[in-house]
Structure 1
């Protein structure tokens, strides 16, 4: 096993530790058909169902956030390279504000 293999292994362990340590247990209801799909994926990839669910939710939320549209507001918030940058009047600022409220409440 060379240095590169050990580095890869350490990176993998660090990634797993970050995922597990950053997780919070939640209870949720899902459709029976989705439960079957999750169990099949878990079995196929030799993962726990919890790992599959956590990863899917994480990726879905990241994709959802990336798809939130920017809607140009009327207020200029800064100037970059001589160009006016307008506030975002779309859903993202409200979403971030709600996240902040939840974080402060916990």
Structure 2
């Protein structure tokens, strides 16, 4: 993972930037050693372990999205500076489609009409 992501994460922890709105809970299992690391980090930065986990997940997901590979397909979707740009047949288009579907389902379940 990029140093920039972790630098930002650590800065956010130090600044106690805690964004709580829109959070949901879920349960997962982790290795004992990882739990010890989380507890130590939470203690070092005097932050609740749930807030730490939320920050770590957010940072990790941003990094994963940034690293999803672009795989050019055969269809040209546009021209940029005279060069063809091919459709992406990698995982990103499917991932984004699933995100849109899940957001729409969530909005419908919550009675939102924004999306």
User: What interval of TM-score do these two structures reach, taking the shorter chain for normalisation?
Assistant: 0.7 to 0.9
Q: 1:83 matched to which residue of 2?
A: 83
Partner Cα separation in structure 2 for residue 104 and residue 32 of structure 1: 36
**Alpha-carbon offset, residue 22 of structure 1:** 3.5
Moved over 6 A (4+): none
Deviations, residues 42-88 of structure 1 (Å, cap 9, x unaligned) = 00110000111011111111111111111111001111222211111
Q: 1:8 matched to which residue of 2?
A: none
After the TM superposition, which residues 8-19 of structure 1 pair with which residues of structure 2 at under 5 Å, given as runs?
16=18, 19=19
Query: Match of 1:73, SS?
Result: strand
TM-score, normalised with respect to structure 1: 0.77
Higher relative contact order (CA 8 A, sep 6+): 2
Tell me the number of residue pairs that the alignment of Structure 1 and Structure 2 aligns. 92
CA-atom RMSD in angstroms: 1.7
Q: Which has the higher helix share?
A: 1
TM-score, normalised with respect to structure 2: 0.72
